[in-house]
Structure 1
């Protein structure tokens, strides 16, 4: 990692309107802003649109995103949003004489909720009965199972309310047209001046979360590389006639793919005709355009009488910023990566960016970030973005209508998605909990072997005090589970205000197997396990914990107590 030593501390950058300017008030921008505000950073969100985007987008979130909301105290709001969605689904099912498929319930193994498996790969849905609910990773990430069916509009609304409650200022109808570095007498970049449609705004840092055509990315001079589109897709809620012969759910045809439902009037089409003409790319989707696509893909004379709200037109253009950071400018969400929307990966990838970036930028602004912390944002998230781009490209390849692709799709369906091992693996990859970062502190090398959990996303676990692990992340601090009689807590006392500690004698009976044998667990504010141990010797465990805290939480505020031999 590179050093941030060339950047003056914040006290040397006092002449700013806000410490951070976030450009873009979508879910990614709002979540970044909320994370910064939680840490006491002054932040403003600027968005060129007068109101939230009304177009229909992702219909659900992944387990990883649901866990982000849970760790910030937003689980009740997400569960309420899911309940509203289910009510619409039930009404749609009843109107069509069908019933809803099972949505999960108590596990037959330990009474915990079952892991949701409503996703798909290239339109081929995962079978819930083929997900191994006893798999350690599955069991560890089932706590947020009741809050994944949350539409993107609902996610944006609840994150907007969350940010507002934290005092975040969101200025809509403000277009950022320019950006210029501010340099001090020593040649150090001390901030950025944003030229906007209202007035200049001086900030110390800029987060570009302004979408796939990001102006911030272009102004920062960051390249956006990838592959050109070969499909045009549409999604809308519309009044349709002539759909009686169409299949519900995802359907592959020789000319493309379509999906009807699961809510009344919702239609999605995919046609392999290349990108739309540039002349209409930014124009609203008309009823005639949507109707032509439906007829092309389905082969039936469906009539579109009206479109409710705004329909979306999209492609499989897959591109990624070469870096997520250029000096005091950082990119997140679609500004950093774009791809087809299959499996709803865009919203969730952006949420992962935001939760990774927020605490690191806050630590930098607040002056306690260890060397290289902010650079680790791009180092950790760029490979994840590249994986998602490849994941979506593979789905496009499997959706083609030629004879060879049809045969390949049949093999994938029959041989890969029809057994427990492969289905479980693909589900874990789809929902974002299989990712892993290289976060082991170098100083711990040779002290004790790096635990297999280090670098992975933490799930949830019941605690002996009757609470849940997720509840201790509401303030975006590090969380330490101490099962060594307070010995680990005494070490963490060297980092007050940064670490929240829970002392337990042992794990509860209902604790997932992945965490049951641990004697110590340190989790970063973004839910990534920074250190874990099963050592029973406090001295041995303490060395590893100290190294992890120094690596991620910076220098101790006061010296940790001397360890007993």
Structure 2
């Protein structure tokens, strides 16, 4: 019997498997697809944006170079990190089809920011992410099986049984990372609530007779939105039909051309279609991410429109939050209630992402009220404050879990403190341990930290910039669990360490 069975070998499931494998757990991953080379996962259709929060997660596990090497922009721009300093990001994206100016992002205004070797944003294919994560997972002893379709999920007080036909797979815990149409979510009886769609979206690869009639990039129009990607005939479009067309029938060339002409306001001609798919802005979320011994992560836990590129990034946040907590539970040293904090922390983040998507759809509607609001929002996005606000949201800079502390750093992603020997915090977390950063001159946490030596790495010494702090406790997911100024006491650290890392060792 495995410790954990994960259903779904996409980026979320594989990253979770890596986190668990790193902690010494026995992990089985089941994936229904037998072929991972789908055109929907490779360039150009499988390209996704990774923002700073997600890039930081890969950096902490030693995967930053691999992510950067596999990244690419359609226009060929360099994705390598820039030199240290508060320079603006090279791409921000859009909000409701209104393209943002990266130069208007005030990096100095972002909370507790220190230079990092990773870029603030990059583009990478799903296949590339899955390839590097599956390779790492196998190195860590994870068993990955493809071509397995799950059709039953049962659990009792001690185990979960995930079945595919006559074959049952037993584990102490089960996690559904199997996408928006999650079988695990349905079979385990999770409630899935939210709002129905207002639009059908289309992704098309074909040939245009007259491509010059479509402006490159993102174009918000009075009747919808279209995006002409770099490369011939790669187009996305949004049609406000109430989601009526999605999944109802296969889109034909004539239908796609009709929609494209309507949303673009041109008489452009679509010669042929090689690939086409549909999606909607349906926004739903599991009411809890845990039912007994079964948990959900990624699109299995929440679905929404792709506006803003938050789907993959939110799923990565789920995986790194859940991984160390489930591993501690499996290994028997988790404090009471630790695993419940996964849903408590990530569910509000998922709800915020759904509302972020809904807000964009609401002001893109083809009616005069929405277009009036567009004008107001466009003016706001033309300011540094407006653009910086959006960047904080999409990059993950604004993510803060409510951990019950008034300290403004607690609950946020830890700054990448750099020490005298050039080592940075991110490099100290590759083994998946938590870290206690002791900036005091007397190293006063050396003794207390030793009591958690198998779960916490103690690092003493002053960093290049301590941000006015005396000590910082960082969870394995990179979240600051406790922080205080230079007058901190060891007792405060010990209370925080016990809360998140269980009883000290004997």
Name the TM-score class by shorter chain: over 0.9
Regions of 4+ moved over 6 Å: 102-105
* Change in CA separation of 1:22 and 1:306 when aligned onto 2, cut-off 3 Å: farther
Quote the residue 1:69 is aligned against. Answer: 58
String of CA shifts for 1:201-237, please: whole Å, max 9, x gaps.
Answer: 1111100111111111112111100111110001233
Give the match's secondary structure for 1:163. Answer: helix
* Change in CA separation of 1:454 and 1:23 when aligned onto 2, cut-off 3 Å: same
Question: Residue 520 in 1 paired to residue 486 in 2?
Answer: no
Structure 2 counterparts to residues 302-381 of structure 1, below 5 A: 302-307=268-273, 310-381=275-346
Structure 2 counterparts to residues 142-541 of structure 1, below 5 A: 142-145=116-119, 148-182=122-156, 189-197=157-165, 199-277=167-245, 280-281=247-248, 285-307=251-273, 310-414=275-379, 416-440=380-404, 450-484=406-440, 485-504=442-461, 506-508=462-464, 511=465, 515-536=466-487, 540-541=488-489
- Given that 1:479 and 1:523 are in contact with CA atoms closer than 8 Å, whether structure 2 keeps it comes out as yes
* Change in CA separation of 1:496 and 1:228 when aligned onto 2, cut-off 3 Å: same
- Given that 2:82 and 2:119 are in contact with CA atoms closer than 8 Å, whether structure 1 keeps it comes out as no
Q: Distance in 2 between matches of 1:290 and 1:68?
A: 39
* Change in CA separation of 1:427 and 1:112 when aligned onto 2, cut-off 3 Å: closer
* Change in CA separation of 1:162 and 1:237 when aligned onto 2, cut-off 3 Å: farther
* Change in CA separation of 1:156 and 1:286 when aligned onto 2, cut-off 3 Å: farther
Structure 1 regions of 5+ residues with no counterpart? Answer: 1-15, 91-99, 183-188, 442-449, 559-565
Quote the residue 1:554 is aligned against. Answer: 502
Q: 162-171 or 37-46, which moves further after superposition?
A: 162-171
Give the match's secondary structure for 1:22. Answer: strand
Q: Distance in 1 between matches of 2:429 and 2:255?
A: 47
RMSD: 2.2
Quote the residue 1:120 is aligned against. Answer: 94
Question: Residue 59 in 1 paired to residue 32 in 2?
Answer: no
- Given that 1:37 and 1:168 are in contact with CA atoms closer than 8 Å, whether structure 2 keeps it comes out as yes
String of CA shifts for 1:75-110, please: whole Å, max 9, x gaps.
Answer: 00111122xx13x413xxxxxxxxx6x989757xx6
- Given that 1:36 and 1:358 are in contact with CA atoms closer than 8 Å, whether structure 2 keeps it comes out as yes
* Change in CA separation of 1:104 and 1:249 when aligned onto 2, cut-off 3 Å: farther
Structure 2 regions of 5+ residues with no counterpart? Answer: none
- Given that 1:248 and 1:261 are in contact with CA atoms closer than 8 Å, whether structure 2 keeps it comes out as yes
Using the TM superposition, give the Cα deviation of residue 347 of structure 1 relative to its aligned residue in structure 2, in angstroms: 0.5
Give the match's secondary structure for 2:208. Answer: strand
Q: Distance in 1 between matches of 2:70 and 2:476?
A: 25
Q: Distance in 2 between matches of 1:134 and 1:191?
A: 49
Alignment coverage as a number of residue pairs: 500
Normalising by structure 2, report the TM-score.
Answer: 0.93
- Given that 1:41 and 1:365 are in contact with CA atoms closer than 8 Å, whether structure 2 keeps it comes out as yes
Quote the residue 1:563 is aligned against. Answer: none
* Change in CA separation of 1:237 and 1:545 when aligned onto 2, cut-off 3 Å: farther
Give the match's secondary structure for 1:190. Answer: coil
* Change in CA separation of 1:557 and 1:113 when aligned onto 2, cut-off 3 Å: farther
- Given that 2:417 and 2:463 are in contact with CA atoms closer than 8 Å, whether structure 1 keeps it comes out as no
Using the TM superposition, give the Cα deviation of residue 404 of structure 1 relative to its aligned residue in structure 2, in angstroms: 2.4
Using the TM superposition, give the Cα deviation of residue 276 of structure 1 relative to its aligned residue in structure 2, in angstroms: 3.7
Using the TM superposition, give the Cα deviation of residue 170 of structure 1 relative to its aligned residue in structure 2, in angstroms: 1.2
* Change in CA separation of 1:199 and 1:103 when aligned onto 2, cut-off 3 Å: closer
Using the TM superposition, give the Cα deviation of residue 398 of structure 1 relative to its aligned residue in structure 2, in angstroms: 1.4
- Given that 1:117 and 1:427 are in contact with CA atoms closer than 8 Å, whether structure 2 keeps it comes out as no
Q: 46-55 or 379-388, which moves further after superposition?
A: 46-55
* Change in CA separation of 1:151 and 1:437 when aligned onto 2, cut-off 3 Å: same
* Change in CA separation of 1:372 and 1:47 when aligned onto 2, cut-off 3 Å: same
Q: Distance in 2 between matches of 1:134 and 1:277?
A: 45
Q: Distance in 1 between matches of 2:334 and 2:9?
A: 26
